[in-house]
Amino acid sequence: MGRISISANGRLFSRPLSTITLLGRHWSCDVRLDPSPIPMHWVEICWLDEQWAWRALSRAGDTVGVGQYLNPEWRRLDRGNRISLRGSVGVELTSDAPPTPYAIDLQSGDVLEGSPLEGVLAQHRDTNGPFEDGVVLIDGTRPLRLHLPEKALLQPERISLQDPNTTLKIFRRPPQGHLGADSGLIPIEGELARILIPYVEARLAEPNAGWLTRKEAYTRWLEAGGNPESRSHRLGWMRGRLRTRLARQGVAETRSLFENRRSGSWYGTRIGLDAEQLLLV
């Protein structure tokens, strides 16, 4: 499996990588870091196109790292490459192997994989049914969070974002909607639906454009009911979560859900579906 080495606050430790690994200070991060200068959501590391890639979600100007740009958001992360936040934390990729199933003990931090993991899963398989990435299993008295590679979770692809017959319908209140095609509907609910509202709104208003800067999208997201205590970089994190969720539900070409464009210091994002495929009510 992929693995990173982390040096923070005078301490050196190692962590495995799941398909998407989020580093930061927030409780929801896969790797939680201190001290407080570290952003709530700092860096995301992802298995992308059969290679590891990284992007800074916050304090990009203070985040130092190398790697070829794979697109305007993501840079390649090779073994031995280091990502650092000035004066706070350093992260180095020590294994560039693809993600594999593992579980982490939420109390001790120990990692289970291979035969020990299979033994735990065998005890829960009959009662839990298909396992999902991120589920917490109780093994005796210890809580274990299960991490599964994205490919292990995929259902047969039913909907493609490259199909012109695919449509996206979003309701403003409560935020919910669905992605649909002849093969069926996939529901989108809660915050994952709310993050779509600014981009669908902009694309419908300007069918041939619809580009939003992060500040513009953040303002519209707040107007749609987004949490004002969250910073604007949360939008990038939520877009990534939405793409991952749809991929796990059998949607193909999820990377085309959003498009990015850069011109000098200007950087914009828009939804990748045409206006004729969108409905906002």
Higher pLDDT, 58 or 222: 222
Tell me the CA end-to-end span of the chain in Å, nearest whole number.
Answer: 44
pLDDT of 136 strictly over 70: yes
**How does residue 1 score in pLDDT terms, banded at 50, 70 and 90?**
confident
Most confident option among 37-46, 63-72, 237-246, 262-271: 262-271
pLDDT at position 98, please?
86
Residue range 101-107: average pLDDT?
86
**What pLDDT digit, counting tens, does each position of 209-220 carry?**
999 999 999 999
Q: Position of tokens 């495929």? A: 277
160 touches 253 (CB < 8 A): yes
CA distance 225 to 156: 34
What share of the chain in percent tops pLDDT 90? 39
pLDDT of 267 strictly over 60: yes
pLDDT of 24 strictly over 70: yes
Higher pLDDT, 121 or 75: 75
**How does residue 269 score in pLDDT terms, banded at 50, 70 and 90?**
very high
pLDDT at position 36, please?
65
Q: How far is CA 119 from CA 73, 168, 227, in A?
A: 39, 42, 41
pLDDT averaged over every residue in the chain? 86
**What pLDDT digit, counting tens, does each position of 139-180 carry?**
888 888 888 876 433 344 468 888 899 999 999 989 999 998
pLDDT of 54 strictly over 50: yes
* Helix residue ranges, H only, 100-233: 114-128, 150-153, 190-194, 197-205, 214-223
pLDDT at position 150, please?
60
219 touches 226 (CB < 8 A): no
Which tokens is 241 given?
């979560």
pLDDT at position 126, please?
58
pLDDT at position 152, please?
39
**How does residue 9 score in pLDDT terms, banded at 50, 70 and 90?**
confident
pLDDT of 58 strictly over 60: yes
pLDDT at position 212, please?
96
pLDDT at position 122, please?
79
